[in-house]
Amino acid sequence: MYTGGNDVTFKITLAYDGTAFVGWQRQAAGASIQGLLEEALARLDHGEVIVSGAGRTDAGVHALGQVASLSLRRAIDGPSLVRSLNASLPDSVRVLEADLVPDTFHARYSARRKTYRYRLWNADVLSPFERQYVWHVCGPLDRDAMAAAAMLIEGRHDFAAFRAAGGKTRSTDREVFSSRVVVAPWPPVPPCPLSPLILYEVSGSGFLRHMVRNVVGTLVEIGRGRRPIEWMSEVLAGRDRRQAGPTAPARGLVLVSVEYDAGLLAPER
């Protein structure tokens, strides 16, 4: 437990249901996760607190393990910070952990690996319990073709083809460590013999805005048989946003985890 001094820095881990939010980032109008956290922390710390998130998730995107960093003047220990924040946040946002870190730690700049999951529901009828958390794709999908195509983007590449339309990021080089389609175990929904839930899981050094959703839109074109497996490599090599598939809806996307070098997390003494 940290017991003295000023300006202590915390790494907090969060889960949220993004359905009702304008996204992670504070906007001119509407509730954002960053905004809610900053308001709760300002009350706690009696002054402005800036919260930096590892992934700036868009409106409707969810998180199981978003990470944010923040500095407080007030001396408080991690478990108390968790309790205090959860007491003032809505139950759609939960702080899971708060750890003291060196003041050099920054949730976004220090991140080494981020993992996202995209959830597709492939059956005629969509479960009412999944309606905010999947993209409902009707009609047959060739899951093997999607799995083969997904792996074609692994490695270090220029991902300009999958950037958001109008995206202005200077460098579009990123490294994708793993890009896989997995069929989730699921209780069978009659009369569907296959699991309706298809998961796409991708880990990388970082992601361009809309990159995961644009890769998923491209995978679904391939799954539908409108394009061959190799189209994924062609789109990637073309570096032209207009060649890729459509942007998959936000509600199917979940930020699963953000990882850091252990050395960055060790508290200074």
Q: Given candidates 8, 9, 12, 16, which one binds its own copies under the rule CB under 8 A?
A: 16
Active-site residue identified among 17, 45, 58, 144: 58
Q: Of 44-52, 94-102, 144-152, 204-212, which segment contacts its own copies by CB under 8 A?
A: 94-102
CA distance 116 to 207: 10
Cα-based torsion angle of the residue sequence 13, 50, 169, 222 in order, rounded to the nearest 10 degrees: 30
**Hey, which residues does 147 pair with through a beta bridge?**
none
Q: How many residues bind its own copies (CB under 8 A)?
A: 24
Q: Given candidates 29, 129, 170, 269, which one binds its own copies under the rule CB under 8 A?
A: 129
Least gap, CB of 256 to its own copies (angstroms): 10
Asked if 59 is part of the footprint of its own copies (rule: CB under 8 A), the reply reads no
Asked if 97 is part of the footprint of its own copies (rule: CB under 8 A), the reply reads yes
Q: Which of residues 189-208 bind its own copies (CB under 8 A)?
A: 189-191
Asked if 232 and 220 count as a contact pair (C-beta separation under 8 A), the reply is: no
* Smaller CB separation from its own copies, 4 or 139: 139
CA distance 252 to 58: 12
The pattern of x and - marking residues 21 through 40 that bind its own copies according to CB under 8 A reads: --------------------
Q: Given candidates 42, 125, 138, 184, which one binds its own copies under the rule CB under 8 A?
A: 125
Q: Of 48-56, 125-133, 149-157, 219-227, which segment contacts its own copies by CB under 8 A?
A: 125-133
CA distance 150 to 94: 32
Q: Is 58 a catalytic residue?
A: yes
* Smaller CB separation from its own copies, 27 or 127: 127
CA distance 104 to 99: 14
Total Cβ atoms within 10 A of residue 44 = 18
Asked if 121 is part of the footprint of its own copies (rule: CB under 8 A), the reply reads no
CA distance 29 to 6: 33
Q: Which of residues 239-258 bind its own copies (CB under 8 A)?
A: none
Asked if 17 is part of the footprint of its own copies (rule: CB under 8 A), the reply reads yes
CA distance 111 to 206: 8
- Residue 191: asked if its preceding bond is cis (omega within 30°), the reply is yes
Q: Of 42-50, 67-75, 100-108, 121-129, which segment contacts its own copies by CB under 8 A?
A: 121-129
* Smaller CB separation from its own copies, 98 or 176: 98
CA distance 103 to 71: 8
Asked if 86 is part of the footprint of its own copies (rule: CB under 8 A), the reply reads yes
212-233 per-residue burial string, b: 16 or more CB within 10 A, e: under 16: bbbbbbbbbbbbbeebebebbe
**Hey, which residues does 156 pair with through a beta bridge?**
175
* Smaller CB separation from its own copies, 138 or 237: 138
Contact positions toward its own copies, by CB under 8 A? 13, 15-17, 62, 82, 86, 91-97, 125-129, 131, 133, 189-191
